[in-house]
């Protein structure tokens, strides 16, 4: 088994180091974040760092890379306060990944990659019509991570849209049924497959699968 010390990692070629460290943490969520500028230009960007924060109130977070370069999504939701989080599905992983290209600020990634803007009344940011699970969020706060110059963005979920046939009676969303994708590292897209669901775990009690 290869063993890397911190010095070994630091001394790797840049691209190899990036792929190694980005993938060693495991499979991450695959989402597209949609925003709109004050000039009315829509923006769409792939993120692999969206995580659940709490359900009451419903909140999520994601990591934004350093703003030493242009971050159109960041500028937009800071100005407008609204953004959307849209699941990436197997059917359009190529289009989703293409949004990571450095398009000019006056170019909409929706149009550039061939995905469709969708809107709901009273919410300004664009959803991805092709996505089966999507959230409309308001910007709440951010925390600067001084060690790497990143920002942890906090959002509150105002709207949750789910396609029929995905949600169970207990509220559980079966991402296998949705064909939602995950991401390994920065560019590896994987299928999701439900192995098993288990009941709430308690000490000294045999764990039971929910599906049996």
- What is the C-alpha separation between 196 and 29, in angstroms, rounded? 19
The whole-chain average pLDDT of the chain stands at 94
Least confident residue range of 54-63, 66-75, 102-111, 180-189: 66-75
- What is the C-alpha separation between 7 and 132, in angstroms, rounded? 44
- The share of the chain scoring above pLDDT 70, in percent, equals 99
pLDDT at 125 over 80: yes
**Residue 161 vs residue 65, higher pLDDT:** 161
Q: Are 162 and 173 in contact (CB under 8 A)?
A: yes
- What is the C-alpha separation between 151 and 177, in angstroms, rounded? 33
pLDDT at 145 over 90: yes
Could you check whether the bond before residue 187 is cis, i.e. omega within 30 degrees of 0? Answer: no
Q: What are phi and psi of 92, to 5 degrees?
A: -140, 35
* Angstrom distances, CA of residue 80 to CA of 76, 83, 117, 124, 177: 6, 8, 17, 8, 33
pLDDT at 69 over 70: no
pLDDT at 212 over 60: no
pLDDT tens, residue by residue, 96-116: 999 999 999 999 999 999 999
- The share of the chain scoring above pLDDT 90, in percent, equals 86
Q: What is the mean pLDDT of residues 132-137?
A: 98
How many helices (DSSP H) and strands (DSSP E) are in the chain?
6, 12
Query: Which CATH topology does 27-191 take?
Result: Pnp Oxidase; Chain A (2.30.110)
Residue 119: CB atoms within 10 A of its CB come to 14
* Angstrom distances, CA of residue 170 to CA of 173, 199, 210: 9, 12, 11
pLDDT tens, residue by residue, 154-204: 999 999 999 999 999 999 999 999 999 999 999 999 999 999 998 989 998
């Amino acid at each position: 088994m290869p063993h890397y010390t911190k010095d070994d990692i630091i001394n790797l070629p840049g691209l190899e180091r990036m792929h190694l460290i980005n993938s060693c943490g495991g499979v991450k969520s695959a989402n597209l974040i949609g925003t709109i500028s004050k000039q009315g230009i829509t923006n769409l960007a792939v993120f692999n760092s969206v995580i659940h924060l709490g359900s009451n109130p419903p909140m999520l977070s994601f990591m934004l890379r350093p703003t030493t370069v242009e971050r159109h999504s960041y500028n937009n939701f800071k100005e407008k306060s609204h953004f959307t989080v849209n699941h990436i599905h197997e059917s359009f992983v190529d289009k989703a990944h293409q949004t990571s290209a450095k398009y000019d600020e006056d170019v909409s990634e929706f149009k550039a990659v061939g995905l469709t803007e969708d809107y709901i009344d009273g919410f300004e940011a664009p959803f991805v019509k092709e996505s089966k699970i999507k959230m409309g969020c308001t910007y709440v706060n951010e925390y600067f991570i001084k060690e790497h110059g990143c920002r942890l963005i906090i959002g509150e979920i105002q709207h949750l849209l789910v396609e029929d046939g995905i949600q169970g009676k207990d509220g559980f969303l079966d991402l296998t049924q949705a064909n939602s994708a995950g991401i390994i590292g920065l560019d590896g897209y994987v299928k999701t497959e439900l192995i098993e669901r288990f009941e709430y775990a308690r000490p000294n009690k045999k764990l039971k699968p929910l599906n049996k």
